[in-house]
Amino acid sequence: MIDTFIFPGAGGVDGLVEALQETLGNETSMIVDWQEQRGSILTAAYDGEAVGEAISEAILACINNNNNNNNNNYHNKIKRLHFIGISVGGFAANAAATTLYRRQQQEQQQQQQQDKEAAATTTTATAVTTADCEIQLTLLDPFCGRGVFQPNYGKEHFGKFATTAIHILNTDDPVPTTNDPLPNCYCLDVTNAPEREEFVPPPGDSMHSWPLAYFIWKDGNVRDTNNGYPRGVVVKVDEWTTEAMPPLPWEIAIDYDYLPVATR
């Protein structure tokens, strides 16, 4: 069952994105390659949001369809939906999480009203579809400027509507609007993580890709040392957190076939 959706950055699917999916599990994760839907740099944020909203609506349609068909209570099997946004793909991931989380809030309110009515009439209330599902958002060095006139859009909106929101960043890469912690997220600053000394960026890339590589090396898991990933907390990683780091695709000189065309 697919429960994790990966939204790449403006460069599309590359070796790092593929390595992330392999780490998370090809059977349970999906790469949403939205390059064809992306227009210019100026519209990329809006295009990403449209893609994220479309994905969330498709998920809701699938859940509701299976629920209506009484397919073994399909919706009860979904305990978590995880949206991962890389660079400008953060807009798509945040939009998907926001749409589902808001729908979840609406359903919870409906459930409360149904419970009240059921208590008054001694009937059984109808179960909702996503009320028990955790909506997790992970943003990997997200680009936060929306168009020309909203450079702080991500700072104000990213992570606001999700059960858990995690932001992994470094503060010294050259990509604008990506170097500040997001107040609506639990932030992991990996700028000075010792593992970075061994990281070799993909050809033509910069340290903008380091948060993604760090997330891969952590097997897609971020340890919570603050009880519940509290929003607004910034944890600076300054000690070794992994015992050994496997080489990334472009560091394996022999296996050229593994590399996507864009990085060969």
Q: How confident is the model at residue 246 (pLDDT cuts 50, 70, 90)?
A: low
Task: Give the tens place of pLDDT for each residue, 17-55.
Answer: 999 999 999 999 999 988 777 767 778 899 999 999 999
| 241 or 50, greater pLDDT | 50
b/e map 201-232, b = 16+ CB within 10 Å = bbeebebbbbbbbbbbbbebebeeeeeebebe
Indicate if the pLDDT at residue 194 is higher than 70.
yes
Indicate if the pLDDT at residue 179 is higher than 90.
yes
Task: Give the tens place of pLDDT for each residue, 43-101.
Answer: 889 999 999 999 999 998 887 776 666 554 444 567 899 999 999 999 999 999 999 99
Indicate if the pLDDT at residue 252 is higher than 70.
no
Burial of 246 (0-12, 13-18, 19+ CB in 10 A): exposed
Q: What is the overall mean pLDDT for the chain?
A: 83
According to the model, what pLDDT value does residue 42 have? 76
| Pairwise CA distance, residues 88 & 123, whole Å | 48
According to the model, what pLDDT value does residue 74 have? 44
Indicate if the pLDDT at residue 105 is higher than 70.
yes
According to the model, what pLDDT value does residue 82 have? 96
> Domain residue spans in the chain?
4-263
**Pick from 35, 43, 28, 29: which is nearest to 13 by CA?**
35
Task: Give the tens place of pLDDT for each residue, 121-165.
Answer: 755 544 445 557 899 999 999 999 998 889 999 999 999 999 999
According to the model, what pLDDT value does residue 260 have? 40
According to the model, what pLDDT value does residue 25 have? 94
140, β-bridge pairs: 86, 168
According to the model, what pLDDT value does residue 68 have? 61
Q: How confident is the model at residue 255 (pLDDT cuts 50, 70, 90)?
A: very low
